[in-house]
């Protein structure tokens, strides 16, 4: 049984005191692959250094998180792309649009997202999308590229059934994390109407720990709780479901094999 955590921020300060223990605990729990999304320029080197140390288990992405987008986003993107040109990444991300906390840089976020989608197409990589209170904006940008070979995942999906179907119709997978285990989450109803072939699993560590770890710092080893919950939701054998989601992940992130 081989779990794949498709989204974890193990390079963040929350893990400074026990990072190696957290990674080893995840490996011992069967989480054999962990994919690391980038946030901004300051996180790039810590992420790459960590991936180099654990090159058989950790893989890096490159992108600019929407919450890091400011008026100088274009120069930041140029610096990130200069790195993208020189080494292998498994995806462009995490990128997208976040209008939950602040709408000040809405237009800049959309422009930065559009640029990173162009990267994904040019470098033949999947795109990892952060979409918080922004599905209309996200879809309006993606729809501009309908005739292009674009694929990816809606990370930490919390949308409606119609939004999930729209994403799937565009060729995207749905990233499911600990939120689905929360008592008041509507994701359970959505997932029951989506074929599990469209699902991949993630933690978003150190955020959004699943029940029964809710409220604690999330760790990659906690992915098993989400996997068991969703397998039960589908009435599937746990191992078969985990194998399926890993196959889905490796099909999408095909540079991580």
Render 160-219 in DSSP notation, one character per residue. Answer: -HHHHHHHHHTTEEEEE-GGGGSTT-THHHHHTTS-GGGEEE---BTS-PPTTSTTSPP-
For 185-208, b/e burial (b = at least 16 CB within 10 A) is eebeebbeebebebbbbbbbbbbb
pLDDT tens digit sequence for 90-120: 999 999 999 998 899 999 999 999 999 999 9
pLDDT of residue 18: 98
DSSP class of residue 33 equals E
pLDDT of residue 256: 83
pLDDT of residue 246: 97
Distance CA 246, CA 229 (A): 16
Whose tokens are 């026990």? That residue is 18
pLDDT of residue 255: 86
- Residuewise pLDDT in 10s, the chain (257 residues): 799 999 999 999 999 999 999 999 999 999 999 999 999 999 999 999 999 999 999 999 999 999 999 999 999 999 999 999 999 999 999 999 999 988 999 999 999 999 999 999 999 999 999 999 999 999 999 999 989 999 999 999 999 999 999 999 999 999 999 999 999 999 999 999 999 999 999 999 999 999 999 999 999 999 999 999 999 999 999 999 999 999 999 999 998 86
pLDDT tens digit sequence for 159-190: 999 999 999 999 999 999 999 999 999 999 99
pLDDT of residue 200: 98
Q: Which fold has domain 3-256?
A: TIM Barrel (3.20.20)
| Cis? peptide before 245, omega within 30° of 0 | no
**Domains of the chain: which residue ranges?**
3-256
């Amino acid at each position: 049984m081989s779990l794949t955590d498709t989204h974890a921020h193990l390079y963040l300060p929350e893990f400074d005191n026990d990072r190696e223990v957290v990674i080893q605990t995840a490996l011992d729990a069967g989480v054999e692959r962990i994919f690391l999304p980038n946030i901004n320029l300051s996180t790039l080197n810590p992420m790459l250094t960590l991936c180099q140390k654990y090159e058989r288990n950790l893989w890096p992405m490159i992108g600019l998180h929407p919450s890091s987008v400011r008026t100088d986003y274009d120069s930041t993107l140029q610096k990130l792309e200069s790195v993208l040109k020189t080494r292998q990444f498994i995806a462009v991300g995490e990128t997208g649009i976040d209008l939950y906390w602040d709408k000040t840089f809405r237009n800049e976020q959309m422009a930065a997202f559009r640029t990173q989608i162009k990267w994904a197409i040019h470098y033949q990589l999947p795109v990892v999308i952060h979409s918080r209170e922004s599905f209309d904006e996200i879809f309006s940008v993606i729809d501009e590229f309908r005739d292009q070979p674009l694929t990816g995942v809606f990370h930490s999906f919390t949308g409606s059934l119609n939004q999930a179907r729209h994403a799937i119709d565009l060729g995207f997978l749905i990233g499911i994390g600990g939120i689905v285990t929360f008592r008041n989450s509507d994701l359970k109803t959505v997932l029951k109407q989506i074929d599990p072939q469209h699902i991949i699993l993630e933690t978003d560590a150190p955020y959004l720990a699943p029940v029964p770890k809710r409220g604690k710092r999330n760790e990659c080893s906690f992915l098993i709780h989400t996997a068991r919950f969703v397998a039960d939701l589908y009435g599937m054998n746990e191992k078969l479901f985990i194998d399926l989601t890993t196959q889905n992940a490796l099909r999408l992130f095909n540079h991580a094999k």
